Amino acid sequence: MYGLNKHAGNDAQELFDRYGRLRQDHYQHEINKGTAVWGTELDHSHILLFQKYDAHQEREQGANLVKAILGKAAAHSPSGFFAFVNPLSLLLPVDLPFGASTSDPKYIGRNFRHDNARLKAIESFWRSLGFRRVGRSLLFAYADSPTQTPQFMRKICMGLCDKLKDDKACLAQLVIDMPANPQDPSWSYISPTGNSILHLAASGCKPACIEYIVSIKPELLNMRNRNGYTPRETLQNTMDFCRETGCIYGTPDDIKSLSG
């Protein structure tokens, strides 16, 4: 990133330390970590950097273009990669010299840094494609490989699997952390044990979470995990175990979305 141009160098310096690792402030600092979506997983793997994009393109066409680029990068990177974009930099010419003023004759009439409405629109566009902000930095990141799990997904999955964790607390975490867009890659996440998030909610007996997940991504109902079970079958196995051991965390009747 340092060798591309000044903007890319600044972005690299903001994200990484001199050893190429994500700066700890972005995932440990009480304020600067933001929602702590990303962590040390960004220390490794290949990088794809979006530096120039016509923000005035029709949204659907633009999304298809970005997806095509991500697909092409995936074909050349079987082990996965991380993509980065700085929405603010897309408001600036790539060749704008570092420290140059946008009031220069060359840039008169283009208030790049203060066009908040346009910036929010650009951020919304990249979020819709699965990009999430790194800490409270200016940059957004995207994980191509399921093994490169964002930190927030690990937190969600651990909560869903934990039978002792309150169902409503898990649901609140889902609503806050998971995107509303059902096409977001996060909803298709498969855990290292081969389970979808619906399988995990079923194994943890989380009725409210199951109902919410199904309302967003109903096709997960038919997905089978590595052991060949659907979420409904996983729930039934969990309930059988609960009856045998005397540990009751919920009942199948509570799971309206799986009851028929």
Enclosing domain of residue 254: 151-258
The count of domains in the chain is: 2
The larger pLDDT score, comparing residue 236 to residue 105, is at 236
Residue 133 pLDDT exceeds 80: yes
pTM (2 d.p.): 0.49
Same domain, 249 and 159: yes
Count of helix runs (H) and strand runs (E) in the chain: 8, 4
| 43 lies in some domain | yes
At which of 120, 143, 166 does a domain end?
Answer: 143
Residue 83 near residue 70, CB atoms below 8 Å: yes
Same domain, 155 and 67: no
Phi, psi of 221 (to 5 degrees): -60, -30
Contacts of 42 (CB under 8 A, 6+ apart): 15, 22, 82, 134, 141
Query: Which pLDDT score, from 0 to 100, does residue 115 have?
Result: 63
| 1 lies in some domain | no
At which of 95, 114, 143 does a domain end?
Answer: 143
At which of 143, 162, 194 does a domain end?
Answer: 143
Query: Which pLDDT score, from 0 to 100, does residue 163 have?
Result: 64
Residue 207 near residue 254, CB atoms below 8 Å: yes
Q: What's the CA angle centered on 104, arms 100 and 109, to 5 degrees?
A: 120
